[in-house]
Every structure is written in C-alpha cells, then in structure tokens.
Amino acid sequence: MDSWLAVREAAAAADTPDMPPECREDVVGGLRVPWPAERARRWVAESDGRVVATMILSFQEVDNLDNVELDLVVHPGFRRRGIGTALHDLAVREARAAGCRRLMSESVRALPGGPASDGAGSLFARTTGATLAQTEVRRRLDVSTVDRTGLAARIAALTTDAAGYTLLGWCGAAPDDTVEGLAALQSRFLSEAPLGDLAWEPQQVDVARRRAGERSFAARGRVRYETVARHDATGEIVAWTDVNRYHRPADVWFQDITLVLPEHRGHRLGLLVKLANLAQVLDGEPAVAVHTWNAEENAHMIAINEEMGFRAVDAWDAWQLDLGEPAGRAGTG
Ligand SMILES: CC(C)(COP(=O)(O)OP(=O)(O)OC[C@H]1O[C@@H](n2cnc3c(N)ncnc32)[C@H](O)[C@@H]1OP(=O)(O)O)[C@@H](O)C(=O)NCCC(=O)NCCS
C-alpha cells in the first residue's frame, strides 16, 4: 500500500499539482467495500524490486458490460521507458479476454494560466490508437472568494422563484423517502449529461445499488452532502446535486453530479440546488477549495459554475479505444 500510494502521490504532484494526492483511507476502504456493480483488478509494475507503476481495470457487472475503465499511472521518474506501453498491452489483453469491446481512460493536460504539466497522458493515449471522445475542463472554486451573505440572499431569491418545489439536504446516507427517487435520477444521469463520443449507456441503479454505493463511500471515509428538489405536486425528486470529499484532506471538496429532469428545467433548479448544497457544506465544514468537471459543450452547467465563482484550471481528455469484436461473441449476431 505504501508503494502504491507513493507512485500515485509522485504522479499527482507532476500531473495535477494543485490537487491533493490519493487518500490512503479511500484506497483501503475501496478494497474492503468495492463500488457496487463493478469489479476492479489491480496490478503494479516493479523495477529492481521497487513499485514504479500502478494499474486498475474496472469491469462493469450490471450495465455497460462492453466497457472497461483503465487507470494507468507510471512514476514520473520512470516514464519514457516503455512501462506504460507494456501495462497498456496487458490491459488490452485482459479486456479482450473478458469479452469487452472498449477501453476507456482519462488524461490531464494544462490550460493557459493553469498549473504547468507536460500532458504526457494525452500524448501517450494517442500512441495507443485511442480516440479522443470528450474533453472536460476542471474548474476550481477558491472558497475564500465566496461572499457568504450574497450566497444566502441568492438562495432566498431563487427559492422564491422555484415555488412548487421543496429542497431537502443531508450529509451521509439519504433519507428513506428520497432513495428511490435518487436511484431513478442516477439511472437517468448518463442519458441526460453530454457525453461527446463516449459510448456509455445509462446505468441501472436501484435502491440496493444506491445503498451499496453509500456503504462504499462510508468505508472509504468520504463525506458527502447532497441536496435534492422535490416537486410538491407529485412528490417526485426532480433535481439532485452532490458535493463530497476524501477522508483526507478534509477541506478540499468535489462538486459531482448535478441533474435536473428535462420536464422540470427552466426554474433555475440546477443553480438553486447547487448553491443550497454549497451553503450546507460551508456552514458545516472547513473548506478551502471545490473542484468540478464539465464537458466543454455543457454551456449551461459551465455558466452556472462560473456564476458560482469556479474558474478553469486544466483539461481532462476522455479516450476510447475500440478493441474490436470479442472473439467469444463473434458471429453470434
Ligand atoms: C501516460 C503514462 C502512463 C505513460 O507512461 P510511460 O511509461 O512514460 O509510457 P511509454 O514509455 O510506454 O511511452 C510510450 C509513448 O508514448 C508517448 N509519450 C509518453 N509520454 C510522453 C511525453 N511526455 N511527451 C511526448 N510523448 C510521450 C511517446 O510516443 C512514447 O514513446 P517514446 O518514448 O518511444 O517516444 C505516464 O506518463 C503517466 O503515468 N501519466 C499520468 C497518468 C495518465 O495520464 N495515464 C494515461 C491514461 S491513458
């Protein structure tokens, strides 16, 4: 575990210097209580008895069975020696052997004005034959710039405009009367979010999967705040957002999913749930920074984030490598 974390920490310092390194509790907790509907396999590469690279392949078990996610990291001091290529070849063999058709991976490159990095991942990915399927921009909110009084006033005004909806917020496990609605929203997320050319199908999330995800979150020591909007007339949960952090550091947060169902758009519910959720985090927790990722083409969500004070930092390229028809399935129609 020490060796694993050392590689990841050195790589994070080189590739995303303004972000915290991987958290030990998160890695250990994830081994004990894995994400539901996913089966992860891990490898390390050694050189003279020293761990110099790590690789995770995450296979899907319920939906998206054709896709496998690759997380490949080589220690910066051992790059350009063919280690990345050797591990990638292994990943392709394993993915094909498991009957998968696509290898999905991600890499980071610098943007003007952001932290310097050499963008090795994106240059490497091109050599593997992968296609750039989408780019997301990471934005960072410097919490010291947030005007807390202004935030409260903005939430109050937006709440007045969103008559007919009630906000509910919490930290940790979702209340029982929201969990079915949350599972339904999570199942719709991938069909509503812009995915570029990425071949992800909607997830199939039921209450059991949602609860299992909460247990994995807790085992990792992560802390998560969520806010939803409930449509008063029907009782349906129609908007949802989530901000979470690793066990350590305790003051760096990640703004994840935000979704408003199409039939309930136009009431500024997206901005409202995000601001209310942020206020709930800032009221209860230490916070220095919040990071978030948006597809370049997601103009509406980017406008919301810019309005909240998020500013662009770097670009995250999503790669997709077509592995061809799996041998075992060829000719089956
Ligand atoms: C991407 C990464 C895994 C590559 O590991 P590596 O061991 O250096 O890879 P290799 O030595 O096998 O490089 C293979 C080819 O990729 C290209 N490449 C890799 N890094 C490059 C760089 N910094 N600049 C230009 N080309 C680069 C080159 O064509 C290289 O061949 P060459 O050295 O003969 O010119 C490593 O840089 C890394 O861990 N980056 C951070 C995590 C990440 O982005 N992972 C990629 C997910 S796809």
Ligand 1 in contact with 47 (CB < 6 A)? no
Is the pLDDT at 324 greater than 70? The verdict is yes
Mutate to test the pocket of ligand 1, among 52, 57, 124 (most ligand atoms within 8 A of CB): 124
The CA 190 to ligand 1 mean position distance, Å, reads 30
pLDDT in tens, 199-245: 999 999 999 999 999 999 999 999 999 999 999 999 999 999 999 99
Q: Determine contact, residues 242/225, Cβ cutoff 8 Å.
A: yes
Token readout for 280 is 């709930």
pLDDT in tens, 45-78: 999 999 999 999 999 999 999 999 999 999 999 9
pLDDT in tens, 128-181: 999 999 999 999 999 999 999 999 999 999 999 999 999 999 999 999 999 999
Ligand 1 in contact with 11 (CB < 6 A)? yes
Residue 4 neighbours by CB under 8 Å, 6+ apart: 27, 44, 51, 54
Structural domains present in the chain: 2-138+318-329 (3.40.630.30), 141-313 (3.40.630.30)
Average pLDDT, integer, range 116-139: 96
Question: Of 303, 163, 164, 189, whose CA–CA distance to 242 is shortest?
Answer: 189
Question: Of 249, 277, 305, whose CA–CA distance to 18 is shortest?
Answer: 249
Rounded CA gap, 97 and 148, in Å?
A: 54
Q: Determine contact, residues 26/218, Cβ cutoff 8 Å.
A: no
Q: What pLDDT, on the 0 to 100 scale, is given for residue 325?
A: 84
Rounded CA gap, 106 and 123, in Å?
A: 12
Residue labelled with tokens 């749930």: 273
22 φ, ψ to 5°? Answer: -60, 145
Half-sphere exposure (Cβ direction) of 47: Cα atoms closer than 13 Å: 14
The CA 149 to ligand 1 mean position distance, Å, reads 47
* pLDDT band, residue 327 (cuts 50/70/90): low
The CA 28 to ligand 1 mean position distance, Å, reads 27
Secondary structure class of 265 (helix, strand, coil): coil
Q: What pLDDT, on the 0 to 100 scale, is given for residue 136?
A: 97
The CA 128 to ligand 1 mean position distance, Å, reads 10
Is the pLDDT at 329 greater than 90? The verdict is no
Is the pLDDT at 330 greater than 60? The verdict is no
Count Cβ neighbours within 10 Å for each residue of 173-198 and write b for 16 or more, e otherwise. Answer: ebeeebbebbbbbbbbbeeebebeeb
* pLDDT band, residue 331 (cuts 50/70/90): very low
pLDDT higher at 327 or 35: 35
The CA 1 to ligand 1 mean position distance, Å, reads 24
Q: What pLDDT, on the 0 to 100 scale, is given for residue 328?
A: 57
* pLDDT band, residue 333 (cuts 50/70/90): very low
Burial environment of residue 30 by CB neighbours within 10 A (0 to 12, 13 to 18, 19 or more): middle
Atom 44, ligand 1: which residue's CA is nearest?
A: 121
Rounded CA gap, 277 and 260, in Å?
A: 14
Q: Determine contact, residues 59/48, Cβ cutoff 8 Å.
A: no
Token readout for 75 is 């220690």
Is the pLDDT at 268 greater than 70? The verdict is yes
Rounded CA gap, 70 and 46, in Å?
A: 19
Is the pLDDT at 92 greater than 80? The verdict is yes
Ligand 1 in contact with 200 (CB < 6 A)? no
Q: What pLDDT, on the 0 to 100 scale, is given for residue 296?
A: 87
Burial environment of residue 206 by CB neighbours within 10 A (0 to 12, 13 to 18, 19 or more): middle
Is the pLDDT at 99 greater than 70? The verdict is yes
Ligand 1 in contact with 52 (CB < 6 A)? no
Q: What pLDDT, on the 0 to 100 scale, is given for residue 326?
A: 77
